[in-house]
Amino acid sequence: MASLDSKQRNLSENTTIESSLSEAVRFTGVHSAEQKRKRPFGLALRRLYRTPRTAVDWDDEYEERTSEWFELFVDLIMVIAFSRIADFLADEYSPDKISLFILFFTLFQSSWTLYMVYCTRLYDNSFVHTIYLIVFLLGMAGMAIHVGNADLSINFTVAMIVQRTSLCVMYFLTACQNRRAKSHAMIITYVMLCSLVLLLVATVYTANTTILHILWALVVVVEMPFDIYAYAALPRSKLLPLNIDHVTDRQNGFILAVLGESVVSALQDYSGQHDFDRNAMFYLAMMLALLLSFSIALLFYHVQPTTKDQHAFRQSVGRGFFHYFVIICLGPSLLMAGVAIMFVTRATVYHHEMKLAEVTLLFASVGVSLILIFLVRVSHYAGHHPSPDDPEDVKRVKWAWWAVFTV
């Protein structure tokens, strides 16, 4: 009898503990590593509504995670946006269009980054989140359709409002429902509200392109440092850490999508054009353009850290933000290189000389891209290589490699 009473008491205590843990999870949104492993990733319509859960916390050993299919679907629209932005710069090219080209690119990049960070920090596979995602995709598609069309600036602005509203609602609901994520999510919500105010004002000034472009630029200035605001205002215990493996995978995919425009420019079909001739010069230009794109991709992936601990995000906050802004700058420079490759291909097909501005764009964009790739390596390895423990011969080899890469 005593043994039976003891078993009943243990069963009752375990039930109470499980109930308490469930209640804690419901209020905080924090789940153990074992619970996270049992719940699959991905956007499955399993529930009509659920509280967004934190994907990782500071003391968690999170599992490796790659891009989900719905994140790759967002990338598909980004590829179309890159193509439209490249066409905007290529049509009637002039150097004064470069600033507007960079502005368009960063407006897309900012919203892509905000959604990427949401996915890497939070899990939400409910039907309601799917609705928010569809609205986000529709807004991004509207931006891609109208980008660069001066007569449809109001349409582009409204599409940005739709997209940013979806992001704002995602972060605001997370702040309301997940106690662990509340402080961090609220700061990003405030950032999105500021962006929406600027965009609403922009709808009034669509006829004045100067004021309109200034307001768009302010949106980028407000949004890009969104995590800097959080790190400056909150203690570490209230910040949401990143799943660094997932962020790295997403950033690498983003850069590869940008390079895809260079490949498209190199392999574009001109067979329907008048006087098109597939001569040796055409094939040589195509081969060299493809080789240039591949070489840039090879260098970018070669400078990635070989071990997880070497990543800039894991070394310090300062290195992490430096790496983040270098990647932001790398995107438009690579897309400009794709536009320059388009100029080379056109000059070869139509048998005319390239303009000085087009040649300058080619060498400047490739040069800036190589400098930024070098800075990516610096963000990971500066202060670690050459290592103080390396033999002198190894140090000389490493310094020589860095010198050659810099030149």
Q: Please enumerate in sequence order all residues whose Cβ is within 8 A of that of 101, keeping only pairs 6 or more positions apart, or say none.
A: 85, 88, 89, 332, 335, 336
Shortest CA distance to 70 belongs to which of 141, 119, 142? 119
Distances (CA, A) of 256 to 184, 259, 301: 30, 5, 10
The DSSP secondary structure of 249-271, one letter per residue, reads HHHHHHHHHHHHHHHHHHT---T
Q: Which residue has the higher pLDDT, 286 or 173?
A: 173
- Calculate what percentage of the chain has a pLDDT beyond 90: 31
User: What per-residue confidence (pLDDT) applies to 97?
Assistant: 85
Show the CA angle centred on residue 42, arms to residues 324 and 107, nearest 5°. Answer: 35
Tokens of 11: 């069963």
3 state DSSP class of 54: strand
Average pLDDT for the chain: 81
| Tokens (6 digits) for 304 | 């990635």
Express each pLDDT in 308-324 by its tens digit.
778 888 888 888 899 99
Q: Binning pLDDT at 50, 70 and 90, where does residue 223 land?
A: very high
- pLDDT value of residue 125: 76
Q: Which residues contact 321 (CB under 8 A, 6 or more apart)?
A: 227, 228
Tokens at residue 181, please? 């994520």
Is the pLDDT confidence value at 66 over 80? no
> 122 pairs with which residues across the strands?
54
Q: How far apart are CA 233 and CA 211, in angstroms?
A: 31
Enumerate residues 6+ apart whose C-beta is below 8 A from 114: 167, 188, 192, 223, 226
Q: How far is CA 52 from the centre of its chain?
A: 21
What is the rounded CA–CA span in Å between residue 241 and residue 301?
Answer: 24
The three-class DSSP label of residue 91 is coil
Predicted TM-score of the model (pTM)? 0.81
Q: How confident is the model at residue 194 (pLDDT cuts 50, 70, 90)?
A: very high
Using a pLDDT cut of 70, give the percent of the chain over it. Answer: 79
Rounded CA separation 159/151 (Å): 15
Count of Cβ atoms closer than 10 Å to residue 343 Cβ? 20
Task: State residue 46's pLDDT score.
Answer: 54
Higher pLDDT, 204 or 264: 204
Which residues lie across from 307 on neighbouring strands?
A: none
| Residue 5 pLDDT exceeds 70 | no
Note the pLDDT tens digit of each residue in 328-338.
999 999 999 98
Q: How confident is the model at residue 404 (pLDDT cuts 50, 70, 90)?
A: low
